[in-house]
Amino acid sequence: MKILVCISHVPDTTSKINFTDGDTKFDTNGVQFVINPNDEFGLTRAMWFKEKQGANVDVVTVGGKDTEPTIRKSLAIGADQAIRVDTEAKDGYQVAKELAVIAKDGNYDLIIAGRESIDYNGGMVPGMLAKLIGANFINTCVGLEVEGDKATAIREIDGGKETLTSSLPLVIGGQKGLVEESDLKIPNMRGIMMARKKPLKVVEASVSELSTEAKQFSKPAPKGDVKLVDAENIDELINLLHNEAKAI
């Protein structure tokens, strides 16, 4: 089985976010970048298929040279080969089309993507990718087994979970629950050394035009001041909740 895991290069959620040029560009100074958490769950599941079923696992990212430390971490975790599409990821449709070229060329049985990235939270790439390559698609996936050319997936739905079966090729949008957090792999020294010898293929972009453009960024409104009320003063608490906060 050939598996392709899509990796997004995203800011760590603990990083301080700023914008430059009149809030039109993201300031990367001092920002630590990581594997998108939803992608990391998918990568770990792919490693399980490699260990248990002998699957071949490739990883792919759309981005400039600055993304290579992130994609090499995927190699250190255990992926066999990395592919970087040499263009900045600016638009969900653009990214999906770039990934579709890689997926078609590689003739993959299973493509694992995160259901969304934690920077833009668009949640659109996996579904568009599946449409572009003519594969089945299961989103919000929290469980996955593959036997032969059939996959059984569990996905979250409103009010519960749903079990689906699908033929391959299949694209899934994975998330927390696809593996346990305790199963996430941390690269060891041997993995890091081996990653240096594994192939990282850089391919030219195939998409020249974008469907959308970010005009300006803004931060969420800062939180207001906190008022502390004595635990014994219930009347004052009720008054503030009713007349000031309008919560009751």
- pLDDT-above-90 percentage for the chain: 65
Residue 87 CB partners (closer than 8 Å, separation 6+): 62, 63, 64, 94, 98, 205, 207
Containing domain of residue 39, as a range?
Answer: 2-218
Does a structural domain hold residue 16? Answer: yes
Buried b (16+ CB within 10 A) or exposed e, 157-171: eeeeeeeeebebbbb
Please say whether the beta carbons of 95 and 128 come within 8 A: no
Does a structural domain hold residue 239? Answer: no
Q: 56 or 213: which carries more pLDDT confidence?
A: 56
pTM of the model: 0.86
Does a structural domain hold residue 206? Answer: yes
Does a structural domain hold residue 226? Answer: no
Return d(Cα 179, Cα 20) in angstroms, integer: 38
- pLDDT (tens digit, 9 = 90+) per residue, 147-171? 999 999 999 999 899 999 999 999 9
My answer on whether omega of the bond before 187 falls inside 30° of 0, hence cis, is: no
Does a structural domain hold residue 227? Answer: no
Domain of residue 13, CATH code: 3.40.50.620
- pLDDT (tens digit, 9 = 90+) per residue, 88-113? 998 999 999 999 999 999 999 999 99
Structural domains of the chain, count = 1
Does a structural domain hold residue 93? Answer: yes
Does a structural domain hold residue 229? Answer: no
Does a structural domain hold residue 198? Answer: yes
